[in-house]
Amino acid sequence: MPRITPVGDDVKGSHEQHFKRSRQLWGSVPSFYRALAHSPEALEHIIALTKALRGQWRGEPAKMRLMQLAILVPSIMNQCVI
């Protein structure tokens, strides 16, 4: 059970453009984005940070794998639904 209620698809707001883009790229909206959507500014900043890191490390598969593990391992440990 999440501590912060995720923002649903039916809720209108400035997060909609990010949810739409996420669906286009990955087919769904990550739970983390849904939780951050309560604060659109935080959501925008984390998306920008993620985009910058991925862009910087695009040519370095080892660093990309480390970043993915840094996201995945805590989620598994906390039994989060991904």
pLDDT per residue, tens digit, the chain (82 aa), is: 667 888 988 889 888 998 998 888 778 888 888 999 999 899 889 888 888 877 888 788 888 888 888 878 887 888 876 5
Residue 2 located in a structural domain: no
Whole-model pTM? 0.65
Say what the pLDDT of residue 2 is.
65
Residue 21 located in a structural domain: yes
Record the tokens describing residue 74, joined without a space. 């805590």
For 37, other C-beta atoms within 10 Å of its C-beta total 22
Say what the pLDDT of residue 82 is.
54
Record the tokens describing residue 21, joined without a space. 């883009």
Residue 11 located in a structural domain: no
Residue 33 located in a structural domain: yes
Say what the pLDDT of residue 59 is.
83
Number of domains into which the chain is organized: 1
Within the chain, how many helices (H) and strands (E) appear? Answer: 4, 0
User: Domain of 46?
Assistant: 16-77
Residue 68 located in a structural domain: yes
How far from chain centre, in Å, is Cα 10?
18
DSSP secondary structure code for residue 29 in this structure:
-
